[in-house]
Amino acid sequence: MTTDAPVVVDTTGAQLAEILAAASTAAPDLATRTPAELAGWLDAVASALDAQADTLLPLAEAESHLPARPRLAGELARTTFQLRFFGNLLREGGHLGATIDHADPDWPMGPRPDIRRGHVPFGPVLVFAASNFPFAFSVAGGDTAAALAAGCPVVLKAHPGHPRLSQLTGRIVADALAEAGAPAGVFAVIHGVEAGVSALRDPRISAASFTGSVPGGRALFDIAAARPVPIPFYGELGSVNPVVVTPGAVAERGAAVVSGYVGSFTLGAGQFCTKPGLLFLPAGHGLDAALAEAAGAAKAQPLLNEHIAGGFAKGLATLREQPGVSVLAADPADPTDPTDPTEDADPGDRTEDAAAPRPTLISVSGRDFAANIEVLRAECFGPASLVVTYADTAELLDLLAGLEPSLTATIQGQEDEADLVEALLPPLSRLAGRILWNEWPTGVTVSWAQQHGGPYPATTAPGTTSVGAAAISRFLRPVAWQGFPLAFLPPALRDDNPLKVPQRVDGELRLP
């Protein structure tokens, strides 16, 4: 299958111009569509992807080195669920933010006119796809689903890590949309750095989203902010996802904490934005041997591509060479390992191992971590994690205060440690968009309450989420209509509420 697929070439300037013109033309059309129509399109895309699973999965496996089953099949199921989830959300209508204030001559600050507020689509959205989730954060992923649900045309910049999968997925999505009655220009895939940057600078693009690295995301954020007309840039960048283990958890269920942790940081070869990169353990925890054994037993898995493998090797080498850092478990083939038994072997022998490293676990004391925190708090994308031992609660809180914000922060604790937990919750909620109790951060459910975001560098837009129901609001813009006859108002803002959406009327929330 993969050898039959056409070679994917970069989108040319002329092709991009056509795509942007079509998106721009489609935008006002989409703004007139009902939530039910948009929901039907999302359902059609989901069904088309499900129907093509047997073609998509092998291609995804070949390009990403992730196993087709269960991993990629599960990710595809999550992706099509997500499209349908947004469809259901559209039919409920809460996303429209319908708010009606009738005229009130007695309004205390002076007579109030009739004024009604609702949400309209932003316009064409540029989505930069991620490498590590070839379905769920890529062509038909969460950002695409949220933007289409909002009624925005999508220009999707494919990730170079899976170009043929992106092309095929893009074709399936575009065909399904067309068949469902969506206008031309509603969706297109573009390839190449130059096309992506040109699109980001184009005045017809009204918002952009991104999932990837801090340097890449920051460069694009800077371009979006420097435009003559700056646009919102929703970037999900870097996250170290600290986990705090309390003394009680160590005493009660240390072994379970160890296996949960190693399972989480090695999942998908550690290539999750929610991978726990830091584990805070109380000094004298006595779990070193168990950690070494569990990490040592974890299997090697191939990384997504050479670029990521190179970045991982470099990042890990930097962490390992810091003062006070010791190795609990490491890939025996790792050339940077000072105890490496294959040190004198031909470097050619290590090519395979470098692309499929066994997990590495390193350790450092709280004091050494604090002394070198700017280096040691950095995310290392891939199968590695750092255990930090803390002397007491005061040192733990100091160490947490020195971290950068993340997507997640986790407490492994006991309910009878209320004082400690209450001390940890405020700093952790300042540090992350999602806080977990006795669970592990990898695995992000798609639901109404999900929050996948956080202050910079976790994201460039800390008030938003890229997963879950609220992700749609990134692509919606409020508009108020003042003094309009009912016939000219959007249906969601009419008194007879023909769409049966939740409305706030004269301050009071009303369900249909």
Cα 317 from Cα 320, distance rounded (Å): 5
Q: Is residue 141 at the binding interface for a copy of itself, with CB under 8 A as the rule?
A: no
Give CA separation, 316 vs 96, 279, 295, in Å.
Answer: 46, 16, 15
Q: What are phi and psi of 499, to 5 degrees?
A: -85, -5
Q: Is 499 exposed, middle or buried (0-12, 13-18, 19+ CB in 10 A)?
A: buried
Does the bond joining 108 to the residue before it have cis omega, within 30 degrees of 0? no
Residue with token string 């995804």: 60
Q: How do beta strands 326-329 and 360-365 pair? A: antiparallel
> 65 vs 78, which CB is nearer to a copy of itself?
78
Number of Cβ atoms within 10 Å of the Cβ of 203: 11
Q: In the range 121-140, which residues lie near a copy of itself by CB under 8 A?
A: 122-123
- In contact, 257 and 250? CB cutoff 8 Å: yes
Instruction: Give CA–CA dist 460/481, Å, rounded.
Output: 31
- Chosen residue from 108, 341, 347, 348 binding a copy of itself by CB under 8 A: 108
Query: Is residue 117 a contact point for a copy of itself (CB under 8 A)?
Result: yes
Q: Select the residue interacting with a copy of itself from 421, 472, 492, 499 (CB under 8 A).
A: 421
CA distance 360 to 385: 7
Q: What is the Cα 82 distance to its own chain's centre?
A: 13
Strand intervals (E) in 241-334: 242-245, 278-282, 326-329
Residues in the chain: 512
Q: CA angle, 465 as apex, 461 and 471 as ends, to 5°?
A: 115
The residue (of 183 and 455) whose beta carbon lies closer to a copy of itself is 455
Q: In whole angstroms, what is the distance from residue 306 CA to residue 309 CA? A: 5
Q: What DSSP designation does 457 have?
A: T
Site size for a copy of itself (CB under 8 A): 93
Catalytic residue among 61, 63, 152, 273: 273
Binding window for a copy of itself (CB under 8 A); candidates: 92-100, 240-248, 286-294, 376-384: 92-100
Closest separation between CB of residue 256 and a copy of itself, Å? 14
Q: How far is the CB of 136 from a copy of itself (least distance, A)?
A: 10
Residue 106 near a copy of itself by CB under 8 A: no
Residue 507 binds a copy of itself (CB under 8 A): yes
Q: Is there a contact between 481 and 471 (Cβ–Cβ < 8 Å)? A: no
Q: What kind and span of H or E run contains 125?
A: strand 125-128
Q: Is 209 or 363 the residue whose CB approaches a copy of itself more closely?
A: 209
Name the catalytic one among 61, 63, 75, 236: 236
Of the two residues 163 and 217, which places its CB atom closer to a copy of itself in the complex?
217
The smaller minimum CB distance to a copy of itself, of residues 42 and 295, is found at 42
Q: Looking at 429, 495, 498, 500, which residue binds a copy of itself (CB under 8 A)?
A: 429
Nearest to 157 by CA among 196, 121, 183, 124: 196
Among 181, 230, 263, 332, the residue binding a copy of itself under the rule CB under 8 A is 230
CB of 122 to a copy of itself, least distance (A): 7
Does 33 contact a copy of itself by CB under 8 A?
no
- Give φ, ψ of 349 to 5 degrees: -65, -20
What is the Cα–Cα distance from 269 to 351, expressed in whole angstroms?
17
Which among 254-262, 268-276, 370-378, 426-434 is the span making contact with a copy of itself, rule CB under 8 A?
Answer: 426-434
DSSP 423-435: HHHHHHHHHEEEE
Would you count residue 32 as binding a copy of itself (CB under 8 A)? yes
> What is the smallest separation between the CB atom of 444 and a copy of itself, expressed in angstroms?
10
Query: Of 164-172, 194-202, 283-291, 503-511, which segment contacts a copy of itself by CB under 8 A?
Result: 503-511
How many other CB atoms are there within 10 angstroms of residue 187's CB atom?
28
DSSP state of 51: H
Closest distance to a copy of itself from the beta carbon of 464 (Å): 8
Considering the complex, what minimum distance in angstroms separates the CB of residue 477 from a copy of itself?
5
Min CB(247)–a copy of itself separation in Å: 17
Identify the three-state secondary structure at position 222.
Answer: helix
Query: Which residue of 1, 2, 17, 222 would you call a contact of a copy of itself, by CB under 8 A?
Result: 222
Task: Choose one: 117-125, 193-201, 313-321, 356-364; the region binding a copy of itself (CB under 8 A).
Answer: 117-125
Residue 426 found at the interface with a copy of itself (CB under 8 A): yes
Q: Residue 9 interacts with a copy of itself (CB under 8 A)?
A: no
> What residues between 434 and 493 interact with a copy of itself by CB under 8 A?
434-439, 443, 445-451, 453, 455-457, 460-465, 468-470, 473-474, 476-485, 487-488
Pick the stretch among 1-9, 55-63, 247-255, 414-422 that binds a copy of itself (CB under 8 A): 414-422
- Verify whether residue 37 is a known catalytic residue: no
Contact by Cβ (8 Å): 208, 220: yes
Q: Considering the rule CB under 8 A, would residue 433 count as an interface residue with a copy of itself?
A: yes
The answer to whether 293 is a known catalytic residue is no
Using the rule CB under 8 A, is 419 a contact of a copy of itself? no
Whose Cβ is closer to a copy of itself: residue 27's or residue 68's? 27
* Cβ proximity of 325 and 340 under 8 Å: no
Active site residue ranges: 236, 273
